[in-house]
Chains A and B, each alone.
Chain A
Amino acid sequence: MNRYAKEPLFYFLLIGLGIFVIDHFFNGADESIDEIIITDDDVSRLSQFYKKNWNEDPSPETIEKLIAEYVDSEIYYKEALKLNLDHNDEIIKRRLRQKYEFVAQDLADTQDPSEEDLQAFYKEHIEDYRSEPQITFYQYYINSDLHKDDVGVAQKLYQKLRSKQPSEIEKSGDAFHIVTFQDSKELSEVTRVFGSEFAASLFATTETGWQEPIRSGFGMHVVHVTESTDSQEIPLEEIIDEVKIDWKTSNRQYFSDALTDAIRKNYKIIRQDGE
């Protein structure tokens, strides 16, 4: 008896027997018989599956064998469910959760946004649909490789230039491979050409006109901001495809969250941990 007591299977059988007896007692023997129905569809599915694996059609005997295996597998499936063998099985839990989540995803994917949906989504996420800010500016370069005190030299140049208009200045500062006049440059373009440090400082300026010298990876720059355009909202018509893709992504998330919320309502969570 001791040996059996350690064997989980023993308990499974015991419990199974218990259920059987109870079931028999309440429902009567005849009514408890489950039906397993084999249709033409089932047979054709089994045959196709066989063909895929073995590259030939199954013979009538083989078909009978496949049906027998299928029946066994269904019986085991049903019996296992009766014994709650699916409970506390991480793999089954994960798979079932996945299936449930697919449902939400499928549901989301079949929806297309209406005009109003897109309008509303666009308005709600307008920060994502703005053009980049632009600045038109002149920059006069101080080469740090040539001047030890590059900050001081740049400051002197700034003092010298600030009483003039850029149009009056023919050439000033050190030679540089990047041209002095930069017309309507977007933030990303300035970053690409002058680097992130310079771009951040330049776009942080608040007024047009001469600026205190700005540092880049190349050295110091005395800058005159001629015009700056703030970032603008891009009209919906121009970016409707992008908005549509974003709407779909967001819709997927929405359905997934909604599903979680909906089914969570069926449960009361009782925390007994940490007591």
Chain B
Amino acid sequence: MKTNYLWVALVVVTLLSCDNQVEQSKNQSADVADNITATAKTVDYNPNRNAYFGDLHIHSSWSFDAFIYNVRTTPEDAYRFGKGEMIQHPVAGDIQNRRPLDFMAVTDHAEYMGVMMQMLDKDSPLAKLEFAKRIRSEDRAESLAAFGEVGQSLARNEPMTDLIEKDVISDTWQKQIEIANRFNEPGVFTTFPAYEWTSSPSRGSGAPENMYAANMHRNVIYKGDKISTIPFSSFDSQDPEQLWKWMEKEKAKGIDLIAIPHNSNMSDGLMYDKKTYDGRPIDKAYAQLRIDNEPINEVVQIKGQSMSHPLLNPNDEFADYELYAYTFAVGLPPASKPQGSYVREAFEQGLSHKKELGVNPYEFGIIGSSDGHNSGGPVEEDGYFGKLGVVDGSPQVRLQAGERGSRFLRSRYMSAAGLAGVWAEENTRSSIYSSLKRKETFATSGPRIAVRFFMGTDFAGTDLSDQSWLDKAYDSGVPMGSKLESKTESPDFIVWASKDADGANLDRIQIIKQWIDKAGKTHEKIYNAAWSDKRVKDANGNIPAVGNTVDVPDASYTNTIGDATLSAVWNDPDFDAAQSALYLVRVLEIPTPRWTTYDAKALGIIIPDDLDATTQERAWSSPIWYEPSK
């Protein structure tokens, strides 16, 4: 037994001398953070911009809900995952990104950020709370009941005051910032300090009062030079207008930040409602405030895509894609109303608002991301590990636990994660943040499809075979996310897309046009601009389906159909110089197995018949807006 005493003695001695050293290591990390302000151009600098792929929506155990689902990995682990390292999943074993991301932001929920983890940390004052004992209880029923109270307090928007003391929040937030700064490596891996504002009101959503229901969530992303001392959370207000007003005040202090809404598909019509959150008609000041603070919207992630809905886009044969049209409400018919919930409809509405108010609140760019709560996003269909720790971490719970994976999340209807694409000169904070601000961004459902899109007046006859056309495109045209004001001339478009080098070939590039007529009515039309395999377009402009090589039981496909790259100089046959319009690009891959098909293979079962065996993954560009000049 002697050894034991020796240990205890050692511990006592070393504990007495430790304070100093902790202080030292803090200073060291501050030094590392100082290195982030690199001004010289990095090796990959390209004036015609490179495509970078990232994830601006990732949760770690510092998010209260991730913690509840047994996730214990930290924001540091999340950045490690982003860089391609292996991290732990609560049930799926080790998880790893097949390819590192170029940029990333950990967006833990502001509400109770880090609080759960601190209750486990014996040195934290929170660990001493009576409530913490319940959270830590070995009795699962007791800890779940305690977790339930946390969730309820968020639904009622009545914070548990013990848990949100300023010191605690500030301490956690400073750690988040420090970690983001530490992992930022110019030219290699860009990080942004960030958090999620988690407003989920029942109000106006048809759900009973005080229920966690409609998704009004926003991720707040900081450029990184100067950062708020405390995040504005939904406990401060559930009204997005109040968030933007707070952001304006922060900007006045020299803090650069944007808000990115997501999952409008789950907002039950609130995200792009014709009224403001407090019920006023949208006016010019509101429209300006909104677009000033929300230049980007996230349109595809694990909880489905928010671009299109078959009811809103009945003439679009590809609109019915990864629909997840539910709210969070429990015990109700949980459908989320399509009207007011989808981006394509919002873009159309934006043209009307612009005509009435002179400002378009929806002149935003788009990205995809993951919303993974495992400190990592499951981007690959054939490596899916779920969204929420133990809730959907294994093929068994996802496919065999019935339609409802948990109380309010339907695991099998979720999608593998999306990605954010940006066109930036180099992989640095300032370059990528500028791309977000000027909306030169695109969204993908996961594959690293790169898509270029320009509008200009002298593109006719451009040779697109190599990349020399880019000089002209940038010099004389405008890229995605921009606005072209013109008169009389008929503009041309250049579209170009290349496949994911490790993924499926491309089926087609489409251009989606929306416009507003003299009577103020909005319209939408979809054009095929480029397609694979020399298929022949019919008189109505339709292209035959690309085919399908998917072997369902084997969960495999071949690249014997589709093309590696597609491009076209395209001219709008219905162009009217007097009409305001917008154009955006959609690129489709050939059909590949959906993640549930890989799960079914792993389990040796037949795919449940409510699921599609194959999927056509895709990318969407931010729009280019055309306005007749006066």
Given A189-B44, A262-B7, CB of A218 within 8 Å of CB of B499: yes
Closest-CB distance, B406 to chain A (whole angstroms): 27
Q: Is A259 in contact with B564, judged by CB distance below 8 angstroms?
A: no
Given A52-B128, A176-B466, A241-B32, CB of A219 within 8 Å of CB of B14: no
Question: Does any Cβ of A come within 8 Å of B519's Cβ?
Answer: no
Question: Does any Cβ of B come within 8 Å of A37's Cβ?
Answer: no
**A193: contacting residue among B14, B467, B501, CB under 8 A:** B501
Q: Say which one of B17-25, B242-250, B350-358, B601-609 lies at the interface with A.
A: B17-25
Question: Does any Cβ of B come within 8 Å of A192's Cβ?
Answer: yes
**B501: contacting residue among A145, A216, A241, CB under 8 A:** A216
- A residues near B10, Cβ cutoff 8 Å: 107
Question: Does any Cβ of A come within 8 Å of B41's Cβ?
Answer: no
**CB-contacts of B1-39 with A (<8 A):** 1, 3-4, 7-8, 10-11, 14-15, 17-18, 21, 24-25, 28, 32
Closest-CB distance, A27 to chain B (whole angstroms): 24
Q: Is A177 in contact with B565, judged by CB distance below 8 angstroms?
A: yes
Q: Complex formed: what's the CA distance from A103 to B14 in Å?
A: 11
Question: Does any Cβ of A come within 8 Å of B230's Cβ?
Answer: no
Q: Complex formed: what's the CA distance from A265 to B1 in Å?
A: 9
Interface size class of A (residues with CB under 8 A): 35 or more
**CB-contacts of B106-157 with A (<8 A):** 122, 128-130, 138
Closest-CB distance, B27 to chain A (whole angstroms): 12
Q: Is A106 in contact with B1, judged by CB distance below 8 angstroms?
A: no
| Majority secondary structure, A binding face | helix
Question: Does any Cβ of A come within 8 Å of B538's Cβ?
Answer: no
Q: Complex formed: what's the CA distance from A263 to B28 in Å?
A: 35
Closest-CB distance, A3 to chain B (whole angstroms): 30
- B residues near A94, Cβ cutoff 8 Å: 138
**CB-contacts of A215-240 with B (<8 A):** 216-219
Given A111-B14, A145-B532, A259-B7, CB of A195 within 8 Å of CB of B564: no
Q: Please, which residue of chain A has its CB at the minimum distance from the CB of B53?
A: A192
Q: Complex formed: what's the CA distance from A216 to B499 in Å?
A: 11
Closest-CB distance, A41 to chain B (whole angstroms): 16
- A residues near B130, Cβ cutoff 8 Å: 52-53
Q: Is A175 in contact with B499, judged by CB distance below 8 angstroms?
A: no
Question: Does any Cβ of A come within 8 Å of B99's Cβ?
Answer: yes
Q: Is B501 in contact with A177, judged by CB distance below 8 angstroms?
A: no
Q: Complex formed: what's the CA distance from A196 to B448 in Å?
A: 13
- B residues near A110, Cβ cutoff 8 Å: 14-15, 17-18, 21
Q: Please, which residue of chain A has its CB at the minimum distance from the CB of B566?
A: A145
- A residues near B405, Cβ cutoff 8 Å: none
Q: Is A188 in contact with B100, judged by CB distance below 8 angstroms?
A: yes
Question: Does any Cβ of A come within 8 Å of B488's Cβ?
Answer: no
Q: Is A144 in contact with B564, judged by CB distance below 8 angstroms?
A: yes
Given A259-B7, A265-B3, CB of A177 within 8 Å of CB of B498: yes
The 8 closest A-B pairs by CB, nearest first: A195-B501, A175-B465, A110-B18, A217-B501, A218-B564, A145-B563, A110-B14, A195-B502
A sample of 7 more A-B contacts (CB under 8 A), given A53-B130, A196-B502, A217-B503, is: A91-B138, A111-B14, A112-B21, A145-B533, A196-B99, A197-B502, A217-B499
Ordered by A's residue number, 6 sampled pairs between the chains whose C-beta atoms are within 8 Å are A103-B8, A110-B17, A145-B532, A217-B559, A259-B7, A262-B4
